[in-house]
């Protein structure tokens, strides 16, 4: 009987040891199985960070009023063109020297909201950017720009905020028909609601502004019409206000029709 009990206890001990070993082996196998997934997740996070840094074209959709900063329709009359004095504290929502991807979506009030921001750099820079400066004396590298678009059933608004430009200076800005490139002319002509041989803020989107003592500026244009599909692709910053002027910077923007 004693021998039998001893054998039973030994068998139990052996089983327990085997169970512990099996558990350890299973845990090890689980860790090994999880390792590739962990690596993949880290790679994806790293890729997402790289896209954010280089201004990747990722777009987040969501409700566009209230807490995420979308403008709400106002009840007043709509002017074709209005400018600000640059009281904003900064343009853009990115951190460091990178750019945040565009955000946009349908709002709860039935409108559409889009926001895109960029960091200016010269063409051919090591870190590509959708915001290009052709004259760093007027639009320094690392200056920032933000463009917003809001549209509902009765109005269409395009706004801009900039920071890091020359203080106390007037700039011109218009929406153009093509994306930016190394050649300033690549952005094409002004976007026009109706084809016209003349340039004016009623038929086009003008965002002329004047910077404050910190080099910050802002402006907003309002119309009763919106963009044609694919017709508006960028904004050009000019060295003078009005219908023309030297092209000193460009920002490719995913405007919506």
Measured CA angle at 75 (ends 71, 81), to 5 deg? 70
Give 128's Cβ-side CA count (13 Å radius): 10
Quick one: which of 92, 232, 247 has its CA closest to 182?
A: 247
Only one residue has tokens 């009623």, namely 202
Is pLDDT larger for residue 76 or for residue 178?
Answer: 178
pTM for the model: 0.64
Residue 50 gets which letter from DSSP? H
Q: What percentage of the chain's residues is helix, strand, coil (to nearest 5)?
A: 25, 25, 50
The DSSP call for residue 184 is G
Rounded to whole angstroms, the Cα distance separating 23 from 121 reads 56
- Beta carbons within 8 Å of 249's beta carbon, 6+ residues apart: 120, 131, 132, 133, 134, 135, 138, 139, 145, 236, 237
Cβ count near 164 (within 10 Å): 19
- pLDDT score at 170: 98
Q: How open is the CA angle 36-40-42, to the nearest 5 degrees?
A: 115
Cα separation, 155 vs 71, whole angstroms: 12
What is the arithmetic mean of pLDDT over 191-216? 97
Give residue 151's region: left, alpha or beta (phi > 0; psi -120 to 50): beta
Both tokens of residue 167?
């203080």
Inform me whether the pLDDT recorded for 219 exceeds 60.
yes
Distance CA 10, CA 250 (A): 81
Of residues 97 and 60, more confidently modeled: 97
Residue 154 has what pLDDT?
87
What does the pLDDT read at residue 94?
Answer: 37
pLDDT band at 3 (very low <50, low <70, confident <90, very high): very low
Confidence of residue 109 (pLDDT cuts 50, 70, 90): low
Question: pLDDT band at 49, cuts 50/70/90?
Answer: very low
Name the 3-class secondary structure at 105.
strand
pLDDT tens-digit map of 130-154: 999 999 999 999 999 999 999 988 8
Instruction: Read off the pLDDT of residues 8-32 as tens digits, 9 standing for 90 and up.
Output: 334 444 444 444 444 444 444 444 4
Per-residue confidence (pLDDT) for residue 257, from 0 to 100: 84
Q: Is the pLDDT of residue 183 over 70?
A: yes
């Amino acid at each position: 009987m004693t021998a039998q009990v001893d054998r039973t206890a030994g068998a139990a001990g052996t089983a327990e040891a085997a169970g512990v070993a099996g558990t350890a082996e299973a845990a090890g196998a689980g860790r090994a199985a999880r390792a590739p997934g962990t690596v993949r997740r880290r790679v994806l996070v790293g890729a997402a960070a790289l896209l954010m840094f280089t201004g990747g074209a990722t777009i987040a959709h969501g409700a566009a009023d209230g807490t995420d900063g979308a403008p709400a329709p106002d009840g007043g009359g709509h002017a074709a063109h209005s400018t600000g004095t640059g009281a904003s504290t900064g343009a853009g929502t990115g951190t460091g020297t990178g750019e945040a991807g565009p955000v946009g979506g349908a709002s709860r009030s039935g409108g559409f909201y889009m926001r895109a921001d960029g960091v200016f750099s010269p063409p051919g820079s090591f870190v590509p950017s959708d915001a290009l400066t052709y004259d760093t004396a007027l639009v320094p590298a690392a200056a920032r720009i933000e463009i917003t678009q809001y549209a509902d059933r009765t109005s269409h608004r395009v706004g801009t905020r900039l920071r890091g430009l020359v203080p106390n200076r007037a700039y011109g800005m218009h929406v153009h028909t093509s994306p930016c490139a190394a050649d300033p002319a690549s952005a094409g002509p002004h976007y026009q609601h109706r084809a016209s041989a003349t340039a004016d803020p009623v038929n086009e989107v003008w965002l002329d502004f004047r910077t404050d003592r910190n080099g910050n500026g802002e402006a907003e244009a309002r119309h009763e019409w919106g963009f044609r599909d694919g017709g508006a692709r960028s904004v050009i910053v000019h060295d003078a206000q009005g219908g023309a002027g030297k092209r000193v910077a460009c920002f490719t923007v995913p405007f919506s029709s």
